[in-house]
């Protein structure tokens, strides 16, 4: 890979839909063996963090669509990555993930030293150009390859870091929403959904985006207490941003004291015997109530892929492609 985060030439969509081998070779004139590398979830997070250099520079590596993350450009060096999601769930720091990447990156000597501590590395014996070509060859008899304009990474600032109760305001900002590739849909509207701890999807409404940025602000609706996810989908581009949120349990209202009826007394006599005064108590429940969810349906300076890259270019030319995961023994 000659230049970090990019390719050597554009691969344009074209009017006739035909892609020649020479055009593919112009995009990827390299001969890099592909390695399968096993990293823990924590190491994957470290890998993403190592894109951000101490001098303020940024060396972008591309990921496949099953891995997305958010980062805070204002955070301190070494702590910029906010949340990493693999196949829609927060990455497990202890689980083992298999990725495929270029041999020179897998060596850990080109700016990403976490690869030196990999659990395992396996040379596939295949080179990048061959895999790029094969992806297009498979499309001849299958589905056509079309451009993918969704982002894998988005800036996130001011995300909630404490539990939030129903009715409280949640406010944060998104940035770096647009690619610069030819034909990229520009972000203008974002649709929000809250997926609560019970899996109920609750609509949060729409938010306006402009110049690749948006402010997200809403009053938290009634939702099941526990770990929830805010899903924000950028219209047209298909970018899906996930933000974790902890919903705080509400308290049940304190019941009113139960009225008591005075006990009947014996008729008075000339020599009444003294009686002990009666007493009654009403227990007050302080058990937290879990509200039922609404059943309604629901990077700074990051280099981006060049103009008009096709979906296969994103998958194959990405420096890192997450393939699968397994539980560490």
Cβ count within 10 A of residue 84? 23
Residue 5 predicted with pLDDT over 70:
no
Token pair listed for 323: 């393939």
- Confidence band for 46, pLDDT divided at 50, 70 and 90: very high
Kindly report the number of other CB atoms within 10 A of residue 279's CB atom. 6
Percent of the chain residues topping a pLDDT of 70: 74
> Closest by alpha carbon to 194, among 173, 219, 177?
219
Span of 168-177, 211-220, 258-267, 314-323 with lowest mean pLDDT: 314-323
pLDDT, average across residues 279-308: 36
Whole-angstrom Cα distance, residue 244 to residue 49? 19
pLDDT at res. 269: 44
Tell me: the pLDDT tens digits for 202-219?
Answer: 999 999 999 999 999 999
Residues 6+ apart with CB under 8 A from 14: none
- Please say if the pLDDT value at position 307 is more than 50: no
130 sits in which H/E element: helix 128-141
pLDDT value of position 291: 39
Query: Residue 113 gets which letter from DSSP?
Result: G
pLDDT of amino acid 324: 57
Say whether pLDDT at 310 is over 90.
Answer: no
Asked if pLDDT for residue 329 goes beyond 90, the answer is no
d(CA 13, CA 61): 23
C-alpha dihedral over 87, 228, 234, 62, to 10 degrees? -40
- Average the pLDDT over 104-127 and give the result: 95
Ordered structural domains, the chain, with CATH = 21-147+308-326 (3.90.780.10), 157-250 (2.60.40.1930)
């Amino acid at each position: 890979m000659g230049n970090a985060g990019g390719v050597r030439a554009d691969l344009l969509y074209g009017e006739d839909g035909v892609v020649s081998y020479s055009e593919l070779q112009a995009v990827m004139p390299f001969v890099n063996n592909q390695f399968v590398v096993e990293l823990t979830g924590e190491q994957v997070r470290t890998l993403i963090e190592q894109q951000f250099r101490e001098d303020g520079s940024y060396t972008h590596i591309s990921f496949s669509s099953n891995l997305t993350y958010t980062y805070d450009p204002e955070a301190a060096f070494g702590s910029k990555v906010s949340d990493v999601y693999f196949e829609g769930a927060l990455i497990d720091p202890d689980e083992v993930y298999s990725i495929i990447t270029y041999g020179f990156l897998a060596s850990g000597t080109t700016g990403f030293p976490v690869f030196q501590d990999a659990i395992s590395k396996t040379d596939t014996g295949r080179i990048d150009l061959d895999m790029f070509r094969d992806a297009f060859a498979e499309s001849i008899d299958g589905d056509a390859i079309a451009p993918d304009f969704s982002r894998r990474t988005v800036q996130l600032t001011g995300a909630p870091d404490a539990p939030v109760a129903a009715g409280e305001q949640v406010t944060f900002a998104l940035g770096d929403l647009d690619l610069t590739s030819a034909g990229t849909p520009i972000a203008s509207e974002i649709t929000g959904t809250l997926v609560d701890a019970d899996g109920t999807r609750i609509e949060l409404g729409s938010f306006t985006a402009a110049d690749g940025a948006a402010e997200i602000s809403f009053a938290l609706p009634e939702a099941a207490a526990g770990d929830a996810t805010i899903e924000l989908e950028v219209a047209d581009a298909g970018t899906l941003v996930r933000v974790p949120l902890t919903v705080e349990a509400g308290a049940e209202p304190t019941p009113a004291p139960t009225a008591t009826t005075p006990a009947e007394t014996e008729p008075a006599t000339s020599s009444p015997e003294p009686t002990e005064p009666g007493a009654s108590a009403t227990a007050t429940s302080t058990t937290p109530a879990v509200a039922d969810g609404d059943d309604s349906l629901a990077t700074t300076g990051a280099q981006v892929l060049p103009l008009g890259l096709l979906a296969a270019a994103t998958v194959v030319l990405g420096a890192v492609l997450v393939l699968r995961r397994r539980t560490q023994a």
